[in-house]
Chains A and B, each alone.
Chain A
């Protein structure tokens, strides 16, 4: 009986080892996202992001090669390739070589494709886009007008009912120009905002950058336009290089320190000098 026990145990261990040796690693499903971005009506670009479920949590996946296409995923429509960075993002400016294809129509489809790899399965995603842009106007009474227009054939026509953000561009993010977080365009495609921020520090001459944005719109993607306005307060750099301080250079020592240290040193050295004179007097008396 004991002998059978050992046989069974050995068999189970062998099965485990064989299973471990021949088991294939299961590929994870890669989730691919794609967005279109047009900053300040300059060079447009596409941005892909990659995610996968790792240890029960969605994480950004770096090092994934992706290919961007316009229209359909055929080699002739390839816009370019990129590899995702440590944040799982890969960006590709729409190249000049795609100008003819881009100009053919006012709306396009873009695709991003990731081939199957050792760890991740293949993935594809696409977006449909209508060309649009934002115009930004400001008036002297600190009123801001942002106009959203889309391309229809050869014309640019206003778009109604799109949420837009109008803000001041700051170092750490955008600051709303008033208490209203978003503005909806009217039948003229216009959104109006009042600049209500008082004494906002600007650059050396008091300039601020106003930005109007459409974010993650299903039809237009991400659009933004900027305009510089003189509505801030001047925050020019005031150098303290020439100020007298304990941490300044030698010639800019604080006056109180100069006065104290010098007067103490001179006083003591006057005493020393006086004593040398006394020695000279003693010498003279003995001569």
Chain B
């Protein structure tokens, strides 16, 4: 490859300072986070009574958010690990986007669980007195493990880029160069270093797949091991994993479009990428639809007395609007858009991605809350507020704050580090030229 072509790629992919739009976006996220922090301060000082959660709906949008974060974090394993192992090279520009989504999502999954605790200062008891028999402890173990593996999978492929960024004096400031120097100044691109790095990434790619499956299966078991209408299902592990791959891929579609537009990356994130990611989303949506059919059609066919209230509440009762909205936006519409070639162009694909992400968030809400409000033993002699759930403003603020926090991590990452792997892109083009 010519030096000028190589330099062009480096110039294109080096992190850039925020423009006006970027600053407004980051500032907006910071403000939403601050509002969320204030709401959490109120919750800490006044207790969980500021939420609308009561004896029955003891898991509200915090847990819906937790499941959403865990789900979206699975995309790291799909795009980076699965596609890398099967030598799908077109996904290279998307790997870092997927990995930073995974790391930021799993970070906030851990945080939102603490937010859901009435007495967070007692969190350490989970480690001291945790019962290994409890899926909650499995979740703690597997989330921690997945966080470190995702972090390593983000960090190791970044090493060659640190050398490039240090040479190119990227970032513009002493502070950022200090970060690059601390994290990767030891990378000299020697054959031995490359060999160790590639081997480590291969090991990571293999390791992350079972851990990723475990993290979401265990999350599904938090529900499925509880004997309640709507959760008492052997289908839950596969149902959750298929849904997680779908929402993660939808998020990648959205992020691809935004980074492509904001950083002028049309040459690197091409229409072909949207076309292929679109096909993957259609396939995942169909798989998820299949599991949804299993999840709802089978119990609805039998309509056992204990399940009937819950199911009818979803199909045509109190939760029908949010239920059908979630199904339509997370599956039906994206399939309709992306199944056609024209729908896999950047703009329609972006819209489909947004629909998937929004619909999937509501889908988690539908999984968590309606079941809690349909216990096996009828609600008797309880205050009226126990029978319904609608999040308080503090809950909304904290939930939105956590989502904004996740986006802020991605935004800041894209400001500090190259969002498309520079060295890998150069290597792939060089290999392509050789062929």
Contact (A253, B133) CB under 8 Å given A282-B159, A282-B196: yes
Min CB–CB distance B71 → chain A (angstroms): 21
- In the bound complex, CA of A286 to CA of B188 (Å): 6
- In the bound complex, CA of A278 to CA of B148 (Å): 15
Residue total for B at the interface (Cβ-Cβ under 8 A): 29
In this assembly, does A248 line the interface, its C-beta being within 8 Å of a C-beta of chain B?
Answer: yes
Q: Chain B at the A interface: mostly helix, strand, loop or mixed? A: helix
State which residues 163-203 of B face A: CB under 8 Å.
Answer: 185-188, 190, 192-193, 196-197, 199-200, 203
Contact (A246, B200) CB under 8 Å given A268-B207, A286-B188, A286-B190: no
Min CB–CB distance A270 → chain B (angstroms): 10
B141 engages A272 (CB within 8 Å): no
Which B residues are CB-close (under 8 A) to A98? none
Cβ-defined partner of A272 (8 Å) among B131, B149, B187, B199 = B149
State which residues 120-170 of B face A: CB under 8 Å.
Answer: 129-133, 138, 141, 145, 148-149, 152, 155-156, 159
In this assembly, does A104 line the interface, its C-beta being within 8 Å of a C-beta of chain B?
Answer: no
- In the bound complex, CA of A246 to CA of B190 (Å): 52
B193 engages A275 (CB within 8 Å): no
Which A residues are CB-close (under 8 A) to B113? none
In this assembly, does A43 line the interface, its C-beta being within 8 Å of a C-beta of chain B?
Answer: no
State which residues 237-287 of A face B: CB under 8 Å.
Answer: 246-250, 253-254, 257-258, 261, 265, 268-269, 271-272, 274-275, 278-279, 281-283, 285-287
Which A residues are CB-close (under 8 A) to B148? 272
A283 engages B186 (CB within 8 Å): yes
Which B residues are CB-close (under 8 A) to A265? 141, 145
Cβ-defined partner of B207 (8 Å) among A271, A281, A286, A287 = A271
Cβ-defined partner of B132 (8 Å) among A250, A268, A282 = A250
B133 engages A282 (CB within 8 Å): no
B193 engages A272 (CB within 8 Å): no
Cβ-defined partner of B193 (8 Å) among A246, A258, A271, A282 = A282
A275 engages B204 (CB within 8 Å): yes
Which A residues are CB-close (under 8 A) to B197? 278, 282
Which B residues are CB-close (under 8 A) to A286? 185-188, 190, 193
Which A residues are CB-close (under 8 A) to B186? 282-283, 285-287
A258 engages B200 (CB within 8 Å): no
In this assembly, does B211 line the interface, its C-beta being within 8 Å of a C-beta of chain A?
Answer: yes
Residue total for A at the interface (Cβ-Cβ under 8 A): 25
Min CB–CB distance B198 → chain A (angstroms): 11
Contact (A250, B149) CB under 8 Å given A275-B204, A285-B190, A286-B193: no
Which A residues are CB-close (under 8 A) to B192? 285
Which A residues are CB-close (under 8 A) to B203? 271, 274-275
Q: Nearest B residue to A284 by beta-carbon distance? A: B186
A268 engages B211 (CB within 8 Å): yes
Contact (A253, B200) CB under 8 Å given A268-B207, A272-B148: no
Which A residues are CB-close (under 8 A) to B152? 272, 275, 279
- In the bound complex, CA of A285 to CA of B187 (Å): 8
Min CB–CB distance B45 → chain A (angstroms): 32
- In the bound complex, CA of A285 to CA of B186 (Å): 8
Chain A to chain B contacts (Cβ below 8 Å), 30 pairs: A248-B133, A249-B131, A250-B133, A253-B131, A254-B133, A265-B141, A265-B145, A268-B211, A271-B203, A271-B207, A272-B145, A272-B148, A272-B152, A274-B203, A275-B152, A275-B204, A278-B196, A278-B197, A278-B199, A279-B152, A279-B155, A279-B200, A281-B196, A282-B186, A283-B186, A285-B186, A285-B188, A285-B190, A285-B192, A286-B188
Nearest first, the 4 A-B pairs at minimum CB distance are A286-B186, A250-B131, A283-B186, A286-B188
Known: A249-B131, A275-B200, A282-B187. 6 other contacts (CB 8 A): A246-B133, A265-B145, A274-B203, A279-B152, A285-B192, A286-B190
